[in-house]
Amino acid sequence: MEDLRKLEEFQAKIDAEIKIEPKDWMPEDYKKHLQRQISQHAHSEVIGMQPEGNWISRAPSLRAKVVLLAKIQDEAGHGQYLYSAAETLGKSRDEFIEELQSGKAKYSSIFNYPTLTWADMGAVGWLVDGAAIVNQVSLQRTSYGPYSRAMVRICKEESFHQRQGYEIMATMANGTPEQKAMAQDALNRFWWPSIMMFGPHDSDSPNTGNAVKWKIKRETNDELRQKFIDKTVQQAEVIGLTIPDPDLKWNEDRGHYDFGEMDWDEFWRVVKGNGPCNKQRLNHHKKAHNDGAWVREAAIAYAEKQKEKQLVA
């Protein structure tokens, strides 16, 4: 009876747009959903640095190198904010990282595709970060306070990332025929994985119902996907690139673009760990984590010494 009352009070706060804070009572399923979603978001930011880091030493100009470095630094910061938000739910960062490295936790499937050319840096910024913004803008109003507040700064920085990528694609699309072909090739390879970033259709997504009810998510997977496609098709037209979907057409009645069916077999294959770069990404993360152990140990030792000094003083 008491749990029922607590559930009703909890839902009343959600419906009244009152943020849920770490010390507030919350249903166990709400907590578990947030632990999964926020940690998956954090993992995606950290793993997402890998395909871009591959191009730091090969950027075509000093300006391009500096901008790319700044973007990757932002992503490391996003991971920091998100892991910190996830830790407020009662699990340690070490636990979240262990779940990632063991394969129990997932990260965005898009980061399991290789970045083969400099144009891919444009496609990642324009499409991948563009899709992230569409999803994350609504997360600024998510019901869990620490997650909501983290997303405010993250969204501001992601908008910079999207503009960086679009600038690369626009420059190449208006360059030599070879450069335009490279930009089109990057768009061809990243288009479908980008729109699959929003996850399975709502009918195949078991977590969507509660996420919307609890206002963790404000819009469903399919609603967010449609919003991204409507916006991005127009951006492609401006720079003279073609979306690689023969079924793409404007639907006057719906006021949206109709689009072709995604290859869900490929999506689930990548999600389950069998994409082009799944093993490479995780192995790299494990190596970097192990190589950096001494830094974490030194930081802990320093913090303990400082604490001892304060106690003596």
The CATH T-level fold of domain 1-312 is Ferritin (1.20.1260)
Which residue shows structure tokens 């992601």? 158
Q: Could you give phi then psi for residue 206, rounded to 5 degrees?
A: -65, -20
Which residue shows structure tokens 């109709």? 258
pLDDT tens-digit readout, 259-291: 999 999 999 999 999 999 999 999 999 999 999
The contacts of residue 89 (CB under 8 Å, 6+ apart) are 22, 31, 34, 35, 38
On average, the pLDDT of the chain sits at 93
Beta bridge partners of 20: 144
Q: Token pair of 33, please?
A: 């959903």
139 close to 151: Cβ distance less than 8 angstroms? yes
pLDDT tens-digit readout, 193-215: 999 999 888 777 766 778 889 99
Give the pLDDT band (50/70/90) at residue 3: confident
pLDDT tens-digit readout, 97-106: 999 999 999 9
223 close to 211: Cβ distance less than 8 angstroms? no
pLDDT tens-digit readout, 159-191: 999 999 999 999 999 999 999 999 999 999 999
> pTM value?
0.91
The alpha carbon of residue 61 and the mean position of all alpha carbons in its chain are separated, in whole angstroms, by 27
Enumerate the domain spans of the chain. 1-312
76 close to 153: Cβ distance less than 8 angstroms? no
- Per-residue pLDDT at 252 exceeds 70: yes
- Per-residue pLDDT at 33 exceeds 90: yes
Helices 177-195 and 129-139 meet at what angle, rounded to 10?
40
The contacts of residue 12 (CB under 8 Å, 6+ apart) are none
DSSP string, 61-106: SHHHHHHHHHHHHHHHHHHHHHHHHHHTTT--HHHHHHHHHHTSS-
Q: Token pair of 134, please?
A: 């569409």
Rounded to an integer, what distance in angstroms lies between the CA atom of residue 167 and that of residue 272?
Answer: 33
263 close to 192: Cβ distance less than 8 angstroms? yes
Residue 262 per-residue DSSP state: P
